[in-house]
Amino acid sequence: MKYDVAIIGGGLAGLSLSIDLKKRGYSVIVIEKSNYPRHKVCGEYISMESHDYLQSICADLSMFDLPIINNFKLTSTGNQEYQTSLDLGGFGISRYLLEELLYTEAKKNDVIFKLKCKAFNIHCNKKEEYYIVKTNSGDVNASLICNSTGRKSNLETKEREKQLNGTNYIGIKYHVRLQRDNSFVEIHNFPGGYCGLSGIEEDKTCLCYIVNSKKLNNARNSIPELEKVYLFQNRHLKKLFNKAEFIIKEPLTISGIDFKIKESVSDSAFFLGDSAGSIAPVTGNGMSNALRSASALASMIDSYFSKTITKKQLVDNYKRFWNNEFSTRLKLSRHFQKLSEYPLLTNLSIGLFKSFPFLAKSIIRRTHGTSFFEPKLPK
């Protein structure tokens, strides 16, 4: 069987692309190396710009009473604190629930899944103009391949690998119960990183931090030691950790986080979400970028299969879209990532934000987009 589209990687980008394409009438297979549902290290704050798109591909989202977040708090060591309202804001939902909803929706729409199945490489059958994905459980044939394998992928080509070395960060996540104002997304800076707090479903809070891996080495690779020595230098964080009831007792961890910009199209595949380049979590916008790229790619693939554009136009249009939308935001986010590792610089920023409130708003605006949902007319 030859599918219209094979999607490698069924995270947020891959799942939403699969539903969008299937709803447009194309045959789609998702190759996913793990299974659903699953917890993932993520701050679980989604910018409002994606809300309507998510709702359009997954109506069941509205069944959940999700916290709406329209305020932002930033603190650092030395009692510095800054608060502002968010123009666009966001909402909170765990990755566990979100992926489960999207997976269920995709299955309902007859997307085919190959789960616990790892893709190894992609070949092109030039004569018959289709691609073959080699996996550990057989080949998959498709007219187009989309790669949504996330930040770290075994499918990286030599050229892309060259761009992948950089500072290494570690991500750590808990779900907790805390008496707090759910309308706030909070970022608490400490030496080497920052910790985000964001309300999610069932009155829970996602507590997730990202830290330069050197700090974990300094703390003898012990997470409790890391928290005691570095995170608790911020008194807000120390208080929050002491007050919180930890639902996930053992933290979920990931390593090897970097923020490299890669490329959006290769000879054999279209890249979307983190596989094309990941934005620093401090902007709280990686999931929206994944969803925005899925939405745009689905619409362009639709134009290609409907013969409105050629393959070359599809490639050029997607590359152009990606650069216009994301490259500046990604580059900016890397500076904020570096900045947010140093309490002195965060304290300076807080001072500046207090004196010039428009500065904070302008930074938030420049790292986010506007709503990207366009209702589709029936064919």
Ligand X SMILES: Cc1cc2nc3c(=O)[nH]c(=O)nc-3n(C[C@H](O)[C@H](O)[C@H](O)COP(=O)(O)OP(=O)(O)OC[C@H]3O[C@@H](n4cnc5c(N)ncnc54)[C@H](O)[C@@H]3O)c2cc1C
Does residue 285 interact with ligand X by CB under 6 A?
yes
Cα separation, 269 vs 340, in Å, equals: 34
Segment lying near ligand X (by CB under 6 A), choices 36-44, 175-183, 316-324, 336-344: 36-44
Contacts of 372 (CB under 8 A, 6+ apart): 49, 50, 53, 292, 295, 296
> Between 101 and 257, whose beta carbon lies closer to ligand X?
257
Please report how close the Cβ of residue 280 comes to ligand X at its closest, in angstroms: 8
As a whole number of angstroms, the distance between CA 287 and CA 204 comes to 20
What does the alpha-carbon distance between residue 70 and residue 47 come to, in Å, rounded to a whole number?
Answer: 10
Cβ proximity to ligand X: between 205 and 288 the closer is 288
| CA 331/CA 49 separation, integer angstroms | 20
Say how far apart CA 29 and CA 84 lie, in whole Å. 43
Which residues from 50-79 bind ligand X, rule CB under 6 A?
none
* Closer Cβ to ligand X, 254 or 348, answer by number: 254
113-145 b/e with 16+ CB inside 10 Å = b?
Answer: bbeebbbeebeeeeeeebbbbebeeeebbbbbb
Among 18, 94, 234, 288, which residue sits at the site for ligand X (rule: CB under 6 A)? 288
304 touches ligand X by CB under 6 A = no
How far CA 344 is from CA of 1, 191, 194, 233, 354, in Å, comes to 59, 9, 13, 13, 15
Give, as one character, the DSSP assignment of residue 198. E
Which of these, 251, 250, 255, 209, lies nearest to 232 by C-alpha position?
Answer: 209
Fill in the DSSP letter of residue 142.
Answer: E
DSSP 3-state assignment of 292? helix
Is residue 92 a contact residue for ligand X (CB under 6 A)?
A: no
Q: Per rule CB under 6 A, is residue 154 in the interface with ligand X?
A: yes
- Find the part of the chain contacting ligand X (CB under 6 A) among 17-25, 55-63, 234-242, 274-282: 274-282
Part in contact with ligand X (CB under 6 A); list of ranges 39-47, 121-129, 316-324, 350-358:
39-47
Q: How many residues bind ligand X (CB under 6 A)?
A: 40
**Is the CA virtual torsion 99, 105, 109, 113 positive or negative?**
positive
CA 123-129-134 angle, to 5 degrees, is 25
Q: Which two tokens stand for residue 184?
A: 């706030």
> Taking contact as CB under 6 A, which single stretch among the options 2-10, 137-145, 301-309, 337-345 is the one that binds ligand X?
2-10
Please give the structure tokens belonging to residue 13.
């980008």
Among 5, 6, 7, 12, binds ligand X (CB under 6 A): 12
Rank residues 154 and 308 by Cβ distance to ligand X and give the closer one: 154
Q: Give the position of tokens 């304290």.
A: 347
The answer to the question of residue 176 lying near ligand X (CB under 6 A) is: no
Q: Is 257 in the site for ligand X (CB under 6 A)?
A: yes
Identified binder of ligand X from the candidate list 20, 49, 274, 302, rule CB under 6 A: 274
Which 14-33 residues touch ligand X, going by CB under 6 A?
14, 31-33
Q: Which residue lies nearer to ligand X by CB, 76 or 148?
A: 148
Long-range contacts of 214-222 (CB under 8 A, 24+ apart): 215/191, 216/170
Taking CB under 6 A as the binding criterion, the range among 100-108, 269-277, 318-326, 361-369 that sits at the site for ligand X is: 269-277
Minimum Å distance from CB 31 to ligand X? Answer: 5
Structural tokens at position 137: 């459980």
What is the contact mask toward ligand X in residues 134 to 153, using x (rule: CB under 6 A)? --------------xxx--x
Evaluate whether 113 touches 269 at the Cβ level (below 8 Å).
Answer: no
Per-residue binder mask for ligand X (CB under 6 A), 202-221, x = binder: ------x-x-----------
Is the Cβ of residue 67 or residue 273 nearer to ligand X in the bound state? 273
Q: Under rule CB under 6 A, which residues in 313-372 are in contact with ligand X?
A: none
List of residues contacting ligand X (CB under 6 A): 8-14, 31-34, 41-46, 118-119, 148-150, 153-155, 171, 208, 210, 257, 273-275, 278, 281, 284-288, 290
